Chain A
Amino acid sequence: MSLLELNGVSKHFGAIRALTDVTLHMEPGEVLGLMGDNGAGKSTLVKIIAGNFPPSHGELRINGEEVHFHKPIDARAKGIEVVYQDLALCDNLTAAANVFLGREPRFGVWPFRFLDHKEMYRRSATLFKELKSETRPRDLVRQMSGGQRQAVAIARTRLAEARLVLMDEPTAAISVRQVAEVLDLIRRLSDQGIAVILISHRMPDVFTVADRVVVMRRGSKVADKPTANSSPEEVTGLITGAIEAA
């Protein structure tokens, strides 16, 4: 039984067909590289899995059970976490506040329930340490570098004890040195049995860390194979359409 199954998923916005009949499965701990040109349907696919909107047709299954996501929180409840390209952080809040946003630990009895700031600072410090990031829990996100922001966004998924993490271009906004860190982190998630869908334009990242590569073109899945059996050249051909399907 797969962790995640998509069967015949399509999505159209009015007359625009963003996704056509996509079938996909993910196993625990698997790292999937999702590739495709702009407008190929990667984002739509990810948004369906993340619960931003439901598919027009087709079904989603988590551990064999059919699910219907209407809001991102529905997907989160099933252990699906997203690290967004723009990182979806609140600039005016601290790193710790961002890590715990929407999941704040509290103490006291209703109606006197207060934010547990101490616990948030302590646990986010631990998470940043695990990520080998020097991000400090009390720092404002506004003042952080791209790498530190990435650490905050990733720490958030760790906190959630996610089963599937969707990462949208996690290495787009950071330096080469930090890319290695993020790829290490993806492996660490995978080692813990967390499945990762890595959306990336960067061929080396996908071939370094992904077990499997899926290529999207014009809303359809044109390839789904182990990275070991593919090559950057083949994937490039699939993305551009030089190779029809593989």
Chain B
Amino acid sequence: MTTLSDEPQDPQTHTRWSAIVSNHVFWVVIATVVACVLLSIVTSTFATSQNLFNVTRNFAFVALVALGMTAVIITGGIDLSVGSTIGISGIVLAVVMNAGWPLWAGIGMALLTAGLVGLVNGILIAYLDMQPFVVTLGMLSVARSLAMVISNNRTIFDFGPGGNSLLALGGGSFLGVANPVWFLLVFAVIFFVAFVWSRWGRYVYAVGGNRQAANLTGVPVRAITCSVYVICGLMAGVAAILEVGWLGAVTTGLGTGDELRVIAASVVGGTNLMGGIGGAFGTVVGAALIEVIRNSLILLGVNSFWQGTFVGSFIILAVLFNRLGGDRRGE
């Protein structure tokens, strides 16, 4: 009895989806470990508890947003507005608390703002079929500008009666690990479970894999597309709250240029800009690798002007890595 797969052109089906993805992620993990080991040997300053504390906290901000970004990129989209979303929700948080409202109100308003920015992006992209690149590029400018309007371009460092708890939330630590890292841990697990075990996650991959097919099989493509931008916005809001608490002051420049680092973290972590491929673990590791490299430049005394070159080159290298890894779907 012949079977449907008994075919001359039967391709090798031994490599699995999980294997392909973990391949990329595996190499990023290796690179991160190697970088850490090398830095520990070469410098006496890397493997100190203070430096590691700083490194983990710094990458937590980027990684938190990158988790949301990964969801967006898996659907085949992009969100360039996350840096400005961090800016505007940080400003809203500061303005609300500066006016004497308690911490919960500040957090609520900051998340509401971030969610609204994401919702506007999502509606324009999902329901009006606009290009994600254009919409979020516009939003990058709009949100940054609104942040200046709301705050009158002040630097705010008085967070009213709730100020101390805000500073403790973002700047504090628990069991020797910075609070943002704990938040990252929790959100990474939530995103991992959502990507792998939830129907929403399955649909996010389906939309990125074949939008038409997803629609034909009854996947609510528009709602899913909209949801990832809202979630990405909310993650930018979460990062903003923690970052403001850590910095203890907000300027309207908060988060400027973060979109690049966030996208880099996601892409270095194995998320494919063509959509359909990516994961929570890879994203966190990608963010870690970038921060370790950035940190190493500082520790090795390299002029900080070089940082942009490295982050930018990393995105390009990661995409190149994807191509060499046999991903030629664009052709």
Chain B interface, >50% SS class: loop
A89 within 8 A of B: yes
A92 near B4: Cβ-Cβ < 8 Å: no
A101 within 8 A of B: yes
- Give how many A-B residue pairs fall within 8 Å (CB-CB): 125
Instruction: Enumerate A72-98 residues with CB–CB distance to B below 8 Å.
Output: 72-73, 76, 82, 84, 87-94, 97
Kindly state the separation between the CA atoms of A113 and B20 in the bound complex, as whole angstroms: 27
Instruction: List A contacts of B219 (CB < 8 A).
Output: 101-102
**A106 partner, pick from B199, B206, B217, beta carbons under 8 A:** B199
> How many interface residues does chain A have, given as a range?
35 or more
A138 near B16: Cβ-Cβ < 8 Å: yes
A residues contacting B by CB (< 8 A) are 72-73, 76, 82, 84, 87-94, 97, 101-104, 106, 113-115, 117, 131-136, 138-140, 143-148, 150-151, 156, 175, 177-178, 181
Give the Cβ gap from A121 to chain B, nearest Cβ, in Å. 12
A134 near B4: Cβ-Cβ < 8 Å: yes
Instruction: List B contacts of A156 (CB < 8 A).
Output: 217
Instruction: Identify the closest chain B residue to A108 (Cβ).
Output: B197
Kindly state the separation between the CA atoms of A5 and B9 in the bound complex, as whole angstroms: 41
B1 near A132: Cβ-Cβ < 8 Å: yes
Known: A72-B218, A102-B218, A115-B198. A181 touches B205 (CB 8 A): no
A90 near B4: Cβ-Cβ < 8 Å: no
Number of interface residues of B (CB under 8 A): 40
**B212 partner, pick from A88, A93, A106, A143, beta carbons under 8 A:** A88
Instruction: Enumerate B203-224 residues with CB–CB distance to A below 8 Å.
Output: 205-206, 208-210, 212-219
A92 near B208: Cβ-Cβ < 8 Å: yes
B13 near A136: Cβ-Cβ < 8 Å: yes
Known: A115-B202, A144-B11, A151-B4. A73 touches B218 (CB 8 A): yes
Give the Cβ gap from A95 to chain B, nearest Cβ, in Å. 10
Known: A84-B216, A92-B17. A134 touches B11 (CB 8 A): no
Known: A143-B12, A145-B10, A145-B11. A89 touches B5 (CB 8 A): no
